[in-house]
Structure 1
Amino acid sequence: MIILLIIILLFLIYQHINKEVPILMYHRIADIPNDRNTVSPIMFEQQLQYLKRHGYTTISLQDLYHHFTLKSPLPSKSILLTFDDGYEDNLMNALPLLKKYDMAATVCIISNWIGQENNWEDYKNKPHCRTMDLAQLQEWLKQGMFICAHTVNHPFLPRLNNEEILHELASCKISLEHQLHIPIDFLCYPYGDFDNRVKILAKQAGYKAALGIFKGTDFWRNDLFSLKRVVISSRQPLWEFALKVSSLHMIFIGMRILEYRIKQYRDLLPPTLLQRIFSKHGNKKHINKNN
């Protein structure tokens, strides 16, 4: 009976993860050594080659939204590529490769950072770069790519009051729509940080869906306002990338969700209780060692 239950559970997990569309999260595409959030152009091209060779089709957030709301069919091996923050190297380095392999991507734009130097990253001792300016964003769109909102100033949204959150969400949408002359229907939460209050205000601001990462997301449920993404870093070999774009990508997300939940519950425990737990654990190890 136990074996049968395990088989049924594994089957249900497989059925669930097999229906999910991988949404990949990138930042910069450039040659920056030892920066986990920057993928080199060579590595990025290898990843696109892998996707092309194995029959993946890039889709847009609008395609995914219609799939969820209208049951519109998607290609059998659909995938979504997203770039946070709108760095200039997305246009210079990523766009030619995307065009070469006939793929599309969505860049998430911070309305107050358009055409700005990355002064917000000085503390990381990174070389200076710029975000795309308005003309470059228009070129990005002209080449068949997509844009979504990433707030006005890139704050931790749950730390703000309702009025501040609504300003970050609504003003970004209005500003981008006015400057780019396109509807901005989709949002990306800065740092993947949001809560139910933020989701409600995102709907109120007029968005159709929003991208998270793993924090605040539900492994079992598809929620248009907490779409799960898998992080693509500079530190992973191609075989790991292959797993992250397969049905097994949900395992990576599930592990991150579980890790976050454990940290949440750990933080709820009183410090004195944690000290007693670790003290007992240390004493047991000491006793076992003596025995």
Structure 2
Amino acid sequence: NTPLPPKPILITFDDGYEDNYTYAYPILKEYNMKATIFLVSDYMDRFDKYLTWQQVYEMSANNIYMGSHTLSHYELTPLSTQDMDIQLVGGKLAVEWHTFRFCEFIAYPCGSFNTQVLSETKKAGYKGGFTVYYDYVRAGDDPYKLSRIPIYGNLRLPMLRFWIRLKAAPVVGRLERLRASLLESNHDILAEFIPTP
């Protein structure tokens, strides 16, 4: 119920890579912008190319919101309820422990979720969850199924693909949902015919 500016955006980063600190963070600070980083808690301070908890704490104290990308980045949908809860609650508590701030949002690993994941996410105390569906977020959208428009740096022409996704988000979002639905119902061959930039 808070008024938004005419063209609001939310900048998000998944996984907690070190380049979020070395490249993105200085630019965000320079322009006094906020962003969100969804952390894979078990990777922090353990693996090369991932953030340290000290970097996480510093950014958290300077306008960067830290969310959860679970404890270990396991896709949630195939997990048992017990293992799912460990991933959801463990990731949340780790972020809170290291930032001294509430962790209220999650980005589902691989963007995968189902009814059980949504239910357990709510029980774990999250206020919302982010998918990898290509679309805008609109008033009235389910806060546990928030869409995003991704930039994937490992593909050819990443900025052109992002521009197409951005400009055609309503159409691309529907195509992506149809493709995901076909894959979920084991219609892999049909899904291959659905173009997504």
* Both structures adopt the same fold (TM-score exceeding 0.5): yes
CA distance in structure 2 between the partners assigned to 1:80 and 1:241 by the alignment: 15
2:40 aligned residue: 110
What SS is found at the alignment partner of 2:25? helix
1:140 is matched with 59
How much does 1:166 deviate? Answer: 0.8
Matched, 1:86 2:16: yes
| CA deviation map 1:156-197 (0-9, x unaligned) | 111111111111111211222122110011111111011110
Match of 1:162 in 2: 81
Bigger RCO of structures 1 and 2 (CA < 8 A, at least 6 apart): 1
Say whether residues 1:254 and 2:184 are aligned partners. Answer: no
- Residues 77-102 of structure 1: CA distance to partner in whole angstroms, max 9, x if unpaired? 00111111101110001111222333
Percent sequence identity is 29
Task: Give the distance between the partners of 1:189 and 1:254, measured in 2 at CA.
Answer: 19
> Superposed, which structure 2 residues align to 1:3-152 within 5 Å?
71-117=1-47, 129-152=48-71
By how many angstroms is 1:268 displaced? 8.8
Identify unmatched segments of 5+ residues in structure 1: 1-70, 118-128, 275-291
Q: If you compute each CA radius of gyration, which structure gives the higher value, 1 or 2?
A: 1
Which structure features the higher share of helix residues? 1
Residue aligned with 1:214, SS: strand
Alpha-carbon contact 2:40-2:69 (below 8 Å) kept: yes
Q: Number of residues paired by the alignment?
A: 186
Shift of residue 238, structure 1, vs aligned partner = 4.5
Match of 2:110 in 1: 191
Corresponding letter in the other structure for 2:28: L
Q: CA RMSD in A?
A: 2.7
**TM-score in terms of structure 2 length:** 0.83
Structure 2, unaligned stretches of length 5 or more? 191-197
Q: Could you tell me which residue of structure 2 aligns to residue 267 of structure 1? A: 187
Amino acid at match of 1:145: I
Give the alignment's TM-score, normalised by structure 1. 0.58
SS of residue paired to 2:23? helix
